[in-house]
A and B are shown apart, each in its own frame.
Chain A
């Protein structure tokens, strides 16, 4: 069966077939909005979990007042932030300043469209899924630049320069490492990349790309930390140096949007890593695919949290050294070796 996308699946489930033209567009937008809302909810819950987990790890209690175990803290946060005054300071460029967070959030939510959460559970089953993913997630960097330059603040400027530098340095490694997987899988389609990981070696070891492409996995993970700007590559935010980096001047709801976009980016990164290296939704059949996916993504998320809590951030020059003088070369070596092996095997 050719994997369909989630929009069609949902419409079919509602008994709606054969829509065309404007009605189809309306239906797709409606379904898309619902799904985006679900993603937003997931991200909000992750913020709750992050606070609880980090609280425990740092011998604090964490949120415990709003709702049972403080689970509604994200609602309280959102209400608080919406109520706050929306400040656009005198020297800022209001258009760019206001558009920045919107671009960031839009780009982040859009990227989730190609992530397959389970068999057939993908919003948009694109053949160029991986290309789309890298392209759109890079758009959020545009949002960062807009926010940073629009702020007209020196900290924000330094932060923006760092963000651009860092993203460019690690993006190449990220893509080249992913290309190794693409070569083995023979497709850019994320859904099919997961399907290519079905089966096991010797009946025990799953055929996940983390085992067939281990170097690419390590490179991808390191570059991913650089991409999502988390410790030890926390340079653009670097709150002890750059106050709050590119969002220093933001307040109220726009601040919430930026925070949300950052979190979304992080969650997306865990999803992508799960999809292309950890076999996505694949797993023994006693659990549904979506749950397997969640469990795997959860462990990747834990990795990000633990790194954040225990590792200092590197200096900008160290970040560049690692990116350009280590990861990049290794990723190309991996690509060439993969090609050679594939040629020999084929």
Chain B
């Protein structure tokens, strides 16, 4: 049994092996095959999506296993006019939201799904936008603000249904949580997302490969440089272009600065949800974030939307004077982290509020498809920078931070410690910066063929791009696997039975950004 799980699978489930650990099967077998895949050790479903292939949809599942971090694609074809196949949401909880998304945007039905409703678009929406023949039309969208839940409960049922959001201080953007409160206890929550859906995936199908990068910036605005990496990595690997080492190091610096800016918001907003607007910690995080943004501004020319990474390199070389400034920043950052600790983790009330609340164990987190600091806070040692290195991350010496208990406190601490590791990586990158060019020679017109999935470790978790190319200069389908989308799906389990304040804090501890949840 020393063979990798994917190899073990072949022959057993009656599916034929394809390249790169790809399995194909009949749509009716999906449930069966997936249970076997799961039993073989693939405990993490990273996404489910569909690709239009003429008269049929190819439904793609992508799994990893925590043992060897091996990757497996499962593909199945369903006819366009009768698009239905069994659900796998009982195999991986993570499939729940991803299948709803496929249903919403492609109209593929999943039999036996516990709640097959539109997830991103409004329930009255007509048509499925990611189909190639989708035409824009006027939609009848009425905002129903009163009838949130069908059953308001009988007179003897002491449950209060409350609409947390879309306009709520703790919505972190625009999300709506329909919550049932029993006194101060959270009985049940139901997420409503999609308020910021901008159809990025559809938009990307209309742009050339080079033009897509800025759209990635606009998904995770807390750390855009990481997210750009998710795209350029996928395209470079698809086109077999290799960026020169200098470019890779520059990308690492940008990514780690982005991680610091992202985590500063994550840490700051969680502390703010605990303290309220009057708390100083959020502004202190903002102070350091401003310095990091200045550095990114120097490097990339932009504070919020960098558009820094290009296919085959970076847009600019290392700016003059950046090195001293960056070293000064990492020094100040370390001092600031000590200050943050004194205001948060060393505060008795903070500990009383966060230790032991919002606890979820690592297996369940993986089952929900949670990645990034939130997963590492549950003790799962998984970081794409180390497990699936990109941008020459293997050159750097850094620790993957994990905390064992899986509570709000642990997720907070993981982010705090990761900022220090990011400082370390930045210092190493500046110290060992290779010479040479920062941009590889890439053909003027990029044409790609084939399909590829690549992911990077963004501040929120695994940010991946699945490109299906058809030989033209535009992608045929671009699936963006965003970490926040998968991360917040677990809130239902995370906050059940907690108090109202911990609903807010538990949600904040997952650090969602709604630009990437809704895309």
Interface residues of A (CB under 8 A from B): 54, 57-60, 154-155, 157-158, 231-232, 234, 237-243, 308-318
B501 surroundings in chain A (CB, below 8 A): 238, 241, 313, 315-316
Of A240, A241, A309, A312, the contact of B350 (CB 8 Å cutoff): A312
Could you mark each residue 275-294 of chain B with 1 if its beta carbon is under 8 Å from any beta carbon of chain A, else 0? 11111100110110000000
Q: Once bound together, how far apart are the Cα atoms of A310 and B162, in whole Å?
A: 30
Q: Does B184 contact A (CB under 8 A)?
A: yes
Between A and B, 21 residue pairs with Cβ closer than 8 Å are A158-B500, A232-B349, A239-B169, A239-B276, A240-B274, A241-B273, A243-B168, A308-B276, A308-B278, A309-B278, A310-B279, A311-B349, A312-B274, A313-B275, A314-B353, A315-B352, A315-B353, A315-B499, A316-B499, A317-B184, A318-B352
Q: Does B160 contact A (CB under 8 A)?
A: yes
Q: A315 to B502, Cβ gap below 8 A?
A: yes
Of B271, B287, B350, the contact of A59 (CB 8 Å cutoff): B287
A308 surroundings in chain B (CB, below 8 A): 276, 278-279
A242 surroundings in chain B (CB, below 8 A): 500
Q: Does B142 contact A (CB under 8 A)?
A: no
Q: Which residue of A lies closest to B287 (CB)?
A: A59
Within 8 A of A (CB), among B168-223: 168-170, 181, 184
Q: Once bound together, how far apart are the Cα atoms of A231 and B503, in whole Å?
A: 19
Q: A240 to B284, Cβ gap below 8 A?
A: no
Q: B162 to A154, Cβ gap below 8 A?
A: yes
Within 8 A of A (CB), among B343-367: 343, 347, 349-350, 352-353
B349 surroundings in chain A (CB, below 8 A): 232, 311-314
Q: B347 to A58, Cβ gap below 8 A?
A: no
Extra pairs beyond A59-B286, A243-B168, A312-B274 (20, CB < 8 Å): A58-B283, A58-B284, A59-B284, A155-B162, A158-B162, A231-B276, A232-B349, A234-B276, A240-B273, A240-B277, A240-B504, A312-B349, A312-B353, A313-B276, A313-B501, A314-B349, A315-B353, A315-B499, A315-B502, A317-B184
Of B169, B280, B500, B502, the contact of A310 (CB 8 Å cutoff): B280
Within 8 A of A (CB), among B461-519: 499-504
User: How many residues on the B side are at the interface (Cβ–Cβ under 8 A)?
Assistant: 34
Q: Which residue of B lies closest to A314 (CB)?
A: B349
Within 8 A of A (CB), among B287-316: 287
Q: B347 to A310, Cβ gap below 8 A?
A: yes
Q: How far is the CB of B361 from chain A (nearest CB, A)?
A: 22
Q: Does B458 contact A (CB under 8 A)?
A: no
Q: Once bound together, how far apart are the Cα atoms of A318 and B277, in whole Å?
A: 21
B30 surroundings in chain A (CB, below 8 A): none
Q: How far is the CB of A56 from chain B (nearest CB, A)?
A: 10
Of B163, B271, B272, B283, the contact of A60 (CB 8 Å cutoff): B283
Q: B278 to A54, Cβ gap below 8 A?
A: yes
Q: Once bound together, how far apart are the Cα atoms of A57 and B343, in whole Å?
A: 13
Interface residues of B (CB under 8 A from A): 160, 162-163, 168-170, 181, 184, 271-280, 283-284, 286-287, 343, 347, 349-350, 352-353, 499-504
B353 surroundings in chain A (CB, below 8 A): 312-315, 318
Q: Once bound together, how far apart are the Cα atoms of A317 and B170, in whole Å?
A: 21
> Known interface pairs A58-B280, A316-B184. Does A311 touch B275 (Cβ–Cβ under 8 Å)?
yes
Q: How far is the CB of A21 from chain B (nearest CB, A)?
A: 50
Q: A241 to B504, Cβ gap below 8 A?
A: yes
Indicate the member of A154, A239, A308, A312 with the most B CB atoms within 10 Å: A312
> Known interface pairs A158-B181, A240-B504. Does A312 touch B275 (Cβ–Cβ under 8 Å)?
yes
Q: B283 to A311, Cβ gap below 8 A?
A: no
B272 surroundings in chain A (CB, below 8 A): 240
Q: How far is the CB of B519 from chain A (nearest CB, A)?
A: 26
> Known interface pairs A154-B160, A240-B504, A241-B504. Does A312 touch B184 (Cβ–Cβ under 8 Å)?
no
Q: Which residue of B lies closest to A244 (CB)?
A: B169
B499 surroundings in chain A (CB, below 8 A): 315-317
Q: Once bound together, how far apart are the Cα atoms of A309 and B272, in whole Å?
A: 10
Q: Once bound together, how far apart are the Cα atoms of A60 and B282, in whole Å?
A: 12
Q: Once bound together, how far apart are the Cα atoms of A308 and B504, in whole Å?
A: 19
Q: Once bound together, how far apart are the Cα atoms of A83 and B511, in whole Å?
A: 38
Q: A240 to B283, Cβ gap below 8 A?
A: no
Q: Which residue of A lies closest to B167 (CB)?
A: A243
Q: B275 to A231, Cβ gap below 8 A?
A: yes
Q: Once bound together, how far apart are the Cα atoms of A158 and B280, in whole Å?
A: 26
B343 surroundings in chain A (CB, below 8 A): 310
Q: Once bound together, how far apart are the Cα atoms of A59 and B336, in whole Å?
A: 13
Which 8 A-B pairs rank lowest in CB-CB distance, beginning with the nearest? A312-B274, A58-B283, A240-B273, A58-B280, A309-B280, A312-B275, A308-B278, A154-B162
B504 surroundings in chain A (CB, below 8 A): 240-241
Q: Once bound together, how far apart are the Cα atoms of A59 and B343, in whole Å?
A: 15
B184 surroundings in chain A (CB, below 8 A): 158, 316-317
Q: A231 to B352, Cβ gap below 8 A?
A: no
Q: Once bound together, how far apart are the Cα atoms of A138 and B236, in whole Å?
A: 69
Indicate the member of A58, A243, A308 with the most B CB atoms within 10 Å: A58
B160 surroundings in chain A (CB, below 8 A): 154, 157-158
Q: Once bound together, how far apart are the Cα atoms of A310 and B272, in whole Å?
A: 10
Q: Once bound together, how far apart are the Cα atoms of A136 and B39, in whole Å?
A: 68
Q: B170 to A241, Cβ gap below 8 A?
A: yes
B170 surroundings in chain A (CB, below 8 A): 240-241
Q: Once bound together, how far apart are the Cα atoms of A242 and B277, in whole Å?
A: 13
Q: A312 to B271, Cβ gap below 8 A?
A: yes
Q: Once bound together, how far apart are the Cα atoms of A124 and B501, in whole Å?
A: 43
B168 surroundings in chain A (CB, below 8 A): 243
Q: Once bound together, how far apart are the Cα atoms of A234 and B279, in whole Å?
A: 12
B279 surroundings in chain A (CB, below 8 A): 231, 308-310, 312
A312 surroundings in chain B (CB, below 8 A): 271, 274-275, 279, 347, 349-350, 353
B350 surroundings in chain A (CB, below 8 A): 311-312
Q: Once bound together, how far apart are the Cα atoms of A231 and B350, in whole Å?
A: 12
Q: How far is the CB of A306 from chain B (nearest CB, A)?
A: 9
Q: Once bound together, how far apart are the Cα atoms of A157 and B500, in whole Å?
A: 13
A237 surroundings in chain B (CB, below 8 A): 276
Q: B275 to A59, Cβ gap below 8 A?
A: no
Q: Which residue of A lies closest to B286 (CB)?
A: A59
Q: How far is the CB of A48 from chain B (nearest CB, A)?
A: 16
B277 surroundings in chain A (CB, below 8 A): 239-240
B500 surroundings in chain A (CB, below 8 A): 158, 241-242, 316
Q: Once bound together, how far apart are the Cα atoms of A312 and B349, in whole Å?
A: 6
Q: Once bound together, how far apart are the Cα atoms of A71 and B240, in whole Å?
A: 64
Q: Which residue of B lies closest to A230 (CB)?
A: B278
A241 surroundings in chain B (CB, below 8 A): 170, 273, 500-501, 503-504
Q: B280 to A243, Cβ gap below 8 A?
A: no
A314 surroundings in chain B (CB, below 8 A): 349, 352-353
Q: Once bound together, how far apart are the Cα atoms of A239 and B169, in whole Å?
A: 7
Q: Once bound together, how far apart are the Cα atoms of A232 and B349, in whole Å?
A: 8
Q: Which residue of A lies closest to B163 (CB)?
A: A154
> Known interface pairs A240-B169, A243-B168. Does A59 touch B278 (Cβ–Cβ under 8 Å)?
no
Q: Once bound together, how far apart are the Cα atoms of A106 and B487, in whole Å?
A: 49
Q: Once bound together, how far apart are the Cα atoms of A237 and B162, in whole Å?
A: 17
Q: Once bound together, how far apart are the Cα atoms of A312 and B276, in whole Å?
A: 7
